[in-house]
Amino acid sequence: MTTPSDFVKDVDTANFPQDVLQRSREVPVVVDFWATWCQPCLILGPILEKVAADSGGSFELVKVDVDSNQELAAQYGVQGIPMVVAFRDGKIADSFTGALPEDAVRQWVEKILPTELDLMVDQARTALLADDDIAAEHILHQVLDQQSDHSEAGASLASMLIERGATDEAMIVLGRLAPDSEVDRLQSAARLKASSGQDVSELEAKLAADDSNEDARIDLAKALAARSEFEPALDHLLVVVRAKGPKKDDARVATLDIFGVLGDEHPLTQTYRRQLATALF
């Protein structure tokens, strides 16, 4: 027989990435930021544990002692406790502060649990892992037919479309989604992928014949980036930006697209972002 204690786990700064962020990609994780001296925390804690036990594992509950993990609490903006934060797919899905009654807690939990459409997206991902792209795409289209702005379905489908070169269709799918970092990244990837069909040798020859041909240089940079040759692509784009001619903004946008694909932490992004800033001003 299960008890509330079977559904609660203490987490600290060291294991938070694995036990919360990574785990939330498989099942929703609810984090209770609390402290032993906090009376409302002592009221809310047992309610959360009871709801977790009643859910039968549909979400996981972890507790973070803010006194022992002050840096982690600051990272997530904990200013009052108890503060409860739900994570899904490695991101914050919802939160509340203060001790709520049990009925209100149950209603809140219902909002952060996967919907039927979310479960269909999980089926599509399983199909992808089994290399059944046709089934995965069919399921994702079904989800988007019911909810065109479903972020996970839209991002997954757009990624598949970009991979096979259907960039126009991917941009339509992405255009229906709420803007976020993943949508921005995929839009950048789609714009770069659209240049993958261009002949690099032909573009290089065109540029060799006329070193001042900025259109050819930008097209060459995009084609190189589409082949993941990011460093030479960025070098070409910086040449255009530094020239401060009519194509400067086109080169700047293409550079930002490469940054979007690489991510902010990539060494090339960090190096060339500084060079871009210098070239622009």
Closest CA to 8 of 35, 45, 58: 45
Q: Which residues are catalytic?
A: 38, 41
Q: Are 182 and 157 in contact (CB under 8 A)?
A: no
Which tokens sit at 46?
């047992």
CA 129, CA 136: separation in Å to the nearest integer? 9
H-state helical runs in the chain:
16, 39-55, 70-75, 102-112, 116-129, 133-146, 151-163, 167-175, 181-193, 200-209, 214-226, 230-243, 248-262, 267-280
Residue 30: helix, strand or coil by DSSP? strand
In a 10 Å sphere around its CB, with 0-12 CB exposed, 13-18 middle and 19+ buried, how is residue 252 labelled?
Answer: middle
